[in-house]
Amino acid sequence: MAEKKLILVCNDDGITAPGIRNLIEVCKGFGDVVVVAPDKPQSAMGHAITINATLRVQAMRSESALEYACSGTPVDCIKLAVNKILHRKPDLLVSGINHGSNASINVIYSGTMSAAMEGAMEGIPSIGFSLCNHSIDADFTLSRQVAHTIISKALNDPMPAGICLNVNIPDIAPEMLKGIKVCRQARANWEEEFDERRDPNGRPYYWLTGVFKNYDQGTDTDIWALENNYVSLVPCQFDITAHSSLAHYKSWEDNA
């Protein structure tokens, strides 16, 4: 009989968020589950790690998963899990289910996806799941179905080295879903608008807000897939070398 699968679960919304609770339930059907997740919301932390402060890890009781709340960032959680908590390399790392889209350029800011990327850097097959709905009350019915399908595939199909998967789920009723689309990251950006306010002493402070702008007309992008009722699946790599620009800079080598 094959050894039971070991699945590591993380997120960036914090260990109590509905998204991760739903993901844990899905994972329990596939093997042993260990959860190491932030003890508070850590959205938009990107690939931040904690090097100038200490980290705490608190074991929590739970029914059939081992759970640990960590004081650090999502990437800290993965490093702690791999190096201090788990006794062997997990068969799969899943991160999420994020409350909100991590499609397109959001992947760069996302703590959910940075946890998956860190897993890939550690040689663990890793997937980030995100639902395109920020609400704490979002309906995760479709997301659970999609996570079940994708985790099942991932456990039976070795992931290429150096990548992780960015899976985004449209906020629609399950019967509306058309399927999964393998996509590239859409060219898009946030147009920031800082909301300037005054504190009680009259001094200015700012809230970061912004509007998402998609400049990409391609039908092979994650944004297109989501707008057309598909789950988007983008393989992502941590080698960010712009290989196509190496030749452009070759002339700079001559007269340094």
Answer yes or no: are the C-beta atoms of 19 and 99 closer than 8 Å.
yes
Q: What residues between 26 and 85 interact with a copy of itself by CB under 8 A?
A: 41, 43-52, 54-57, 73, 75-76, 79-80, 82-84
239 in contact with a copy of itself (CB under 8 A)? yes
CB 250, min distance to a copy of itself, A: 6
CB 208, min distance to a copy of itself, A: 6
Q: What residues between 116 and 175 interact with a copy of itself by CB under 8 A?
A: 117, 121-122, 146, 149-150, 153, 157, 160, 162-163, 165
Q: 155: which 2 tokens? A: 């456990």
Answer yes or no: are the C-beta atoms of 16 and 42 closer than 8 Å.
no
**Judged by CB, which is closer to a copy of itself: 136, or 238?**
238
Residue-wise DSSP of 141-171: HHHHHHHHHHHHHHTTSPPPTTEEEEEEE-S
Q: What residues between 177 and 196 interact with a copy of itself by CB under 8 A?
A: 177, 179-182, 184-185, 187, 189, 192-194, 196
Q: Cα separation of 221 and 62, whole Å?
A: 39
Q: What residues between 87 and 126 interact with a copy of itself by CB under 8 A?
A: 105, 107-109, 114, 117, 121-122
Answer yes or no: are the C-beta atoms of 209 and 192 closer than 8 Å.
yes
246 in contact with a copy of itself (CB under 8 A)? yes
Using CB under 8 A, pick the residue from 87, 201, 204, 211 that binds a copy of itself.
204
**Judged by CB, which is closer to a copy of itself: 89, or 205?**
205
Residue-wise DSSP of 81-104: IIIII-SS--SEEEEEEEES---T
**Judged by CB, which is closer to a copy of itself: 13, or 91?**
13
Neighbours of 79 (CB within 10 A): 20
CB 195, min distance to a copy of itself, A: 9
Q: Cα separation of 186 and 205, whole Å?
A: 32
Answer yes or no: are the C-beta atoms of 13 and 99 closer than 8 Å.
yes
Residues that contact a copy of itself, how many (by CB under 8 A): 81
